[in-house]
Structure 1
């Protein structure tokens, strides 16, 4: 900046020549300088004022626009978000096929302590022990009076318990909000749902993880935010499930059984409407698993899926159906049933001596071991194994439960003639009731493979054709005769055309051999027989019922069959199945001629070894 001098020499000299006062020149220049400084300061002040005014206008304009936007939007409850938290606590609901809630979330609180902030640690320990009887007052006292700075007291508690803790007035006891998994129906469908527990957790949130059942099988899906909270819809019907468990529990008590399982499944879709295993548990208070002993002694054990049982004579349908399909026999074919039958050093007997010959239908009706073995010999070992494998009896079921792989059937490594014989009537091979339900559904579904599922309306590829529709129809007609005049007469419920097969198998000893007074009784049924829609399996573990004339009976016809009949009476109205009171028994096609002799190498001829 160039400053103007106050006393310029040229002007001073000229002023003196004219006789003027030089001080006036200095005064004038000083005045002009002051005026310039004042003008500059004024302009600077005006610029600052304009800048401040612009800032105020922008700020108040932004606030006004935001207030206008909020006023025109829908009101919502504000939520606090912690960007640094990695815990996802939200979990989708689980519902039945009608949308009724089976599992949901409930906001609750956890209780934790900062012992260093406590005023009366001993009093706090005593107060908590009164509120929560399961807590150890001595241990709490040691923890509160020690060096610990943080400790969990309760992961979840009721509102009443929270208020009681609050009334203690202890500043070192603190609450943290979190979600917990709730099963509003208690024990109902407990084995299907499985249960849940806490994973990663903090004082203000916790991660809910599935620990068993569909909760664990679909854990990732249930926790996926991309699903926008959509529920997982199961195929089970809550009303049917509850009724099944009630009837099954009564039957288990009456039959003095150690355990029981039942499955009701749609033939066409494989969807399970109800599946029960007893004893059961409350998933809201899931018990600890057994670490020693027999796993089936634990209420957590799912007998329907994990149980590996020799299912006895219910397997007799399989060689009969396969022989019908291959046209080796027809329902009226005569089969040599001379007993006892010898295979090497082994003898095979029937429960009664049924004579030298029986029809294929009567072999099922009277449950002849010898007759079934004769038919299996006509098939041959390889064809027998191939058919059982196609029915899914060698692999775990594809049910959507983490327990499914543990229920893989126990299949013999070697398959000599005696194994082929015993497998034909359900001994020497162990499978779950769910495997049996799937196999019977396949036969009832015009011979097309059915795979069980717990998910409602899931699109799945059509199963392969395992059996011809004609053989399927004949097999179901023969099963109907078992109920009408055979070992399952107590399952007859007027109007519902129940067709089924009983099976009684002795339980194997851990060290080899079989118990004489312990067995598994099973009844596998299809109804209505004229147009199969449902498969019902009932299995009782170690049942025993007193006969009217004295003594005890452990056979399926006296134990599992009456329970199945009662289940049909109770469940049929709930699933919308109306009785057909003008039922006519199906007849067999006498023109369906058998091929008597098997091909070379297919099996053993029907001649009893002496």
Structure 2
């Protein structure tokens, strides 16, 4: 009973007015006081929550009405710029863009860098953990993590739900033919900017300016057609690669040129590279420098002493200047001694030779005699007129500049007459040889389609028509009776001239290392194409020989035998009627 009364008292709400309390204070019960405090605390807490929600709402409204903040590095500038497709003369695809995405991070928004690296490593192959972790922990607003991911990789990363990780659409340049035409087409960097070949040429022609102005983003550009025939290009590269392997050479290459239009139909230089992966990393992470040597294009970007192929130009010079004709005879019975040097013939006949025999037996002595008839100044002027001493003008970037003596002396003229002392590019040699075959017109080479009318507007006459006819005769003669026999293809009547030059090593001629070339024309009844092959430092050749007749000439045979039908050249068997002078030897 007592405990019951106590509980009632503790719950009661009453006011006691003591008769003896002068101030008349009110006494409030314990529970009533607690209720008042609870209400006060709830009001304060609700106030805090309301203030927080109001602040968040205001911030969201601010984000909603303001422009999105974006790092300059991930703006809509260069990396999404489109490039035009590159196609061959028949419309076959050489280069195109594919839509890709690249992965980036905003380090300030990364919650747990270790977790992000660990999860990304499950999706992104060969991810550098330490470097990625360093980027994620940096104080910057933006960091690239991996460029050009596949759609599957993007999907897998999105499924990870990582905050502070984003994607940006980009373009990736794809070369379906791989290394087939790498030196012609070239390649781009990760930002789709042309670095070599025709890719770089396109940037130089205004594509880079359009890109900078943002006018190429997501715009389909008209394809750029090249002069090359991808079918022919593939054959030329195959033959060059096989010759390099079979003859144990440092390098090899070849080019096919239309003699009337100057169009380059094929050009290959091996070793080469895959433009889809222009650089290659080794296991230790370093760049494979040997692989990158394949960037070097020996046909247009390098100069060589072209050896006896230059005898074509020396004899053409003598014919054009009227110093000799096809019935002329020069004395090649003894070596020439000049300035401390002795000039001999390789397997010389040690007798007077007719001009066709000088060409057939590749006589250094006979060729030097013709150069001496013309004189030093006339010799230099003639080679300059043929474009062999100045930098070649064409679309291909990085064309090498020929070298020649600062001052021409008689000994220089003599050695240059048979291809030593002047270094020029193989492509220039082919262009000059085309002038010997097409009636005497020098037509600048091009890697873009060109009609005969357009070529004629650019052509410069450098030889008389009669000189060109005589040179066609000499090429045909050598193709049947001389060093060109190893390049002969039954039915297609190949003519040409070999060139075996001692290679210059550290400023000195190496007697046991050759640079070999063969310049050919076909079909000789009316030449349409020049084919020039080179092979650098072969250790062996057909039947164990190392000269151009055993290495470069068989390359020509293999090329013409396969490409002639593709180029529309019909085989002809039997005797041909030639409009050429007949000479009794």
Q: Do the two structures share a fold, i.e. TM-score over 0.5?
A: yes
2:356 matched to 1:364?
no
2:496 corresponds in structure 1 to 500
**In 2, Cα distance between the equivalents of 1:394 and 1:96?**
31
**In 2, Cα distance between the equivalents of 1:320 and 1:418?**
18
- Conserved in 2, the CA contact under 8 Å of 1:339 and 1:353? no
1:116 corresponds in structure 2 to 108
2:340 corresponds in structure 1 to 345
- Conserved in 2, the CA contact under 8 Å of 1:331 and 1:588? no
The correspondence for 1:95, drawn from 77, 87, 95, is 87
Q: Which moved more, 1:158-167 or 1:411-420?
A: 158-167
Quote how far apart the aligned CAs of 1:183 are: 1.4
Quote how far apart the aligned CAs of 1:544 are: 2.1
C-alpha offsets along residues 385-411 of structure 1, whole Å, 9 cap, x if unaligned? 11100110111111201112xx11111
Written as runs of structure 1 = structure 2, the 5 A alignment for 1:271-420 is 271-287=263-279, 298-404=293-399, 407-420=400-413
- Conserved in 2, the CA contact under 8 Å of 1:262 and 1:304? yes
1:563 corresponds in structure 2 to 555
2:462 matched to 1:466?
yes
The correspondence for 1:440, drawn from 427, 433, 442, is 433
1:486 corresponds in structure 2 to 482
Written as runs of structure 1 = structure 2, the 5 A alignment for 1:6-25 is none
**In 2, Cα distance between the equivalents of 1:547 and 1:574?**
27
Quote how far apart the aligned CAs of 1:133 are: 3.9
- Conserved in 2, the CA contact under 8 Å of 1:92 and 1:222? no
1:210 corresponds in structure 2 to 194
- Conserved in 1, the CA contact under 8 Å of 2:401 and 2:424? yes
Quote how far apart the aligned CAs of 1:491 are: 0.5
Q: Which moved more, 1:94-103 or 1:527-536?
A: 94-103
Structure 1: which 5+ residue stretches go unaligned?
A: 1-83, 200-207, 593-610
**In 2, Cα distance between the equivalents of 1:375 and 1:317?**
12
1:45 corresponds in structure 2 to none
- Conserved in 1, the CA contact under 8 Å of 2:542 and 2:551? no
TM-score scaled by length of structure 2: 0.80
C-alpha offsets along residues 150-189 of structure 1, whole Å, 9 cap, x if unaligned? 2101121222332333343322321111222221211121
The correspondence for 1:156, drawn from 148, 162, 179, is 148
Secondary structure in 2 matching 1:574: coil
Quote how far apart the aligned CAs of 1:129 are: 3.5
CA 1:518–1:409: 2 relative to 1, 3 Å: same
C-alpha offsets along residues 13-46 of structure 1, whole Å, 9 cap, x if unaligned? xxxxxxxxxxxxxxxxxxxxxxxxxxxxxxxxxx
- Conserved in 1, the CA contact under 8 Å of 2:279 and 2:287? no
Quote how far apart the aligned CAs of 1:222 are: 4.1
2:184 corresponds in structure 1 to 192
Structure 2: which 5+ residue stretches go unaligned?
A: 1-74
Quote how far apart the aligned CAs of 1:269 are: 0.2
C-alpha offsets along residues 442-490 of structure 1, whole Å, 9 cap, x if unaligned? 1111011121000112635232211111111111111112121111211
Secondary structure in 2 matching 1:339: coil
1:530 corresponds in structure 2 to 525
1:429 corresponds in structure 2 to 422
CA 1:295–1:116: 2 relative to 1, 3 Å: closer
- Conserved in 1, the CA contact under 8 Å of 2:391 and 2:402? yes
Superposed CA RMSD: 2.6
Quote how far apart the aligned CAs of 1:326 are: 2.4
How many residues were matched structurally? 494
1:172 corresponds in structure 2 to 164
CA 1:428–1:222: 2 relative to 1, 3 Å: same
- Conserved in 1, the CA contact under 8 Å of 2:415 and 2:421? yes
C-alpha offsets along residues 410-468 of structure 1, whole Å, 9 cap, x if unaligned? 11111101000000000000011101110001111101112100011263523221111
Q: Which moved more, 1:434-443 or 1:136-145?
A: 136-145
